[in-house]
Amino acid sequence: MNKQTVALWGCGRIGRVTGKLLLENGYILCWLYDRDPSKSSTLASDLGAGEVGDAGLEPDAHPQVDVIIDATGDPSLLPYWEAVLHLGKSSNVFLTRREPKAQEHVMMGVASVEPSISQGTTVAMGSCTGNALVPFISHLSREYLPSTFSCRVLHPLKQDDDYSLRSIETALSRSLADWEPDLAKKAMTQSMELPVDRGMALDLSICFNQPVSQKSMESWLKSLPSRCPHIQFSHTPPTSDSIVGNKASAVIDPGWNMVGNQLRLLLWQDNELGVSARILDLLETI
C-alpha cells in the first residue's frame, strides 16, 4: 500500500476527482488548499480526509509532503512552487494542465517517449485534449502517416451557467507541437463547448498519403491498447455519461469509418479523470 503524503491545491472539478483517486490508491491526503476555504472544507468533509490549509501561506510555512498537486490552473503560483521546492518541502509539484513555464513536461503514452522527471521540479501533465489526441496520433503516425488531419473537440461546459453551444479556444495545436512538431504542422484544430457537465469527445478526420484497407485499420485500432495501455477500444458506442469514471486517456469509438485514404473517428475521454489518472500512473512509476 502506497504511503506517500500529498498536499492538493485547488478543490474545483479536477481537485475533487484527483483527491478521490489519491485516496482510492492508498495515498495520504494530508492538506487541501483553495482560494475559497469553503471549497477545501467541503472536499475534506466529502472525502473524510485532509486538513484545510491557508492558501495565502508563505513558502517556508508550507507543510512537508512527498508530493504537491496543483489543480488550481493559476500560473501566478509558479514562483511560489519554485520557492517551496527550493526549500525542500516536497519532491515535485504536479500541474494538472499544459503549462509552458513548468520546469518539466510529461505526456503519458506518447510513442517512443519514456516518462521521466527529476526531483525538485514543477511538472506539467498536459491538457485533457492533449492527453487524448497526442498519444493516439503519435502511435498512428508510426504505422500510417497522415498527410493532414483535423480535430474538433466537443468539450463539456467550462462555465456552469451558460447552457449553450459555442466555439471556444483550444490549445490542442500547441500540445501537439510540444510532442509531435511535424504532425502539428499538418493539423487543424477547433473546439466547441456543449451543454453537458462532464465527458468529452474528439472528432477526428485523418487523411493518409495512401489508401488504407478497412481490415488493416480495424486490426491496428483493436491492437493499439496492447502498445498504449492508456488508450482503450470500446465495443459499444460510448456517451459522455458512460465515459465518466473511465481512467483512459482516450477511448476509441467503434463507429469509425475508413473510405479510401480518409479515416473518421471519435476519441472519448472523461476530461476530469483523463489528466489526474495520468498523475497517479506517473507517481507509480517513479
Ligand X SMILES: NC(=O)c1ccc[n+]([C@@H]2O[C@H](COP(=O)([O-])OP(=O)(O)OC[C@H]3O[C@@H](n4cnc5c(N)ncnc54)[C@H](OP(=O)(O)O)[C@@H]3O)[C@@H](O)[C@H]2O)c1
Please give the residue ranges that form the binding site for ligand X (CB under 6 A). Answer: 9-15, 33-36, 39, 55, 71-74, 77, 96-97, 127-128, 271-272, 275
Q: What SS3 state is found at 17?
A: helix
Phi-psi category of residue 109: left, alpha or beta, with phi > 0 → left and psi -120 to 50 → alpha: left
Q: How far apart are CA 243 and CA 264, in angstroms?
A: 20
Shortest separation between residue 235's beta carbon and ligand X, angstroms: 26
Rounded to whole angstroms, how far apart are CA atoms 212 and 188? 21
Q: Could you tell me the smallest distance in angstroms from the CB atom of residue 75 to ligand X? A: 9
**Would you say 122 and 92 are in contact if contact means Cβ atoms under 8 Å apart?**
yes
The nearest distance, CB 34 to ligand X, in angstroms, is: 4
**CA distance linking residue 65 with residue 20, whole number of Å:** 18
Indicate the residue among 134 and 212 with the shorter CB distance to ligand X: 134
Q: How far is the CB of 74 from ligand X (least distance, A)?
A: 4
Question: What is the phi-psi region of residue 88: left when phi exceeds 0, alpha when psi lies from -120 to 50, beta otherwise?
Answer: left
Compare residues 79 and 260 and give the one whose CB is closer to ligand X.
Answer: 79
Q: Which helix (H) or strand (E) holds 242?
A: helix 240-243
* C-alpha–C-alpha distance, residues 144 and 195, integer Å: 35
Report the nearest approach of ligand X to the CB of residue 195 (Å): 15
Choice between 102 and 258, CB closer to ligand X? 102
Give the nearest distance from C-beta 240 to ligand X in angstroms: 12
Q: How far apart are CA 286 and CA 144, in angstroms?
A: 32
Instruction: Pick between residue 19 and residue 146 the one whose CB is nearest to ligand X.
Output: 19
Query: In the complex, what is the shortest distance from the CB of residue 222 to ligand X, in angstroms, rounded to a whole number?
Result: 27
- The residue among 86 and 158 lying less far from ligand X, judged by its C-beta, is 158
Question: Cell triple for residue 2?
Answer: 502506497
Q: How far apart are CA 60 and CA 64, in angstroms?
A: 10
* Residue placing its CB nearer to ligand X in the complex, 33 or 208: 33
**Of residues 92 and 141, the one with the C-beta less far from ligand X:** 92
Residue 134: CA count within 13 A, CB half-sphere: 30
Q: Which residue is nearest to ligand X (CB)?
A: 12
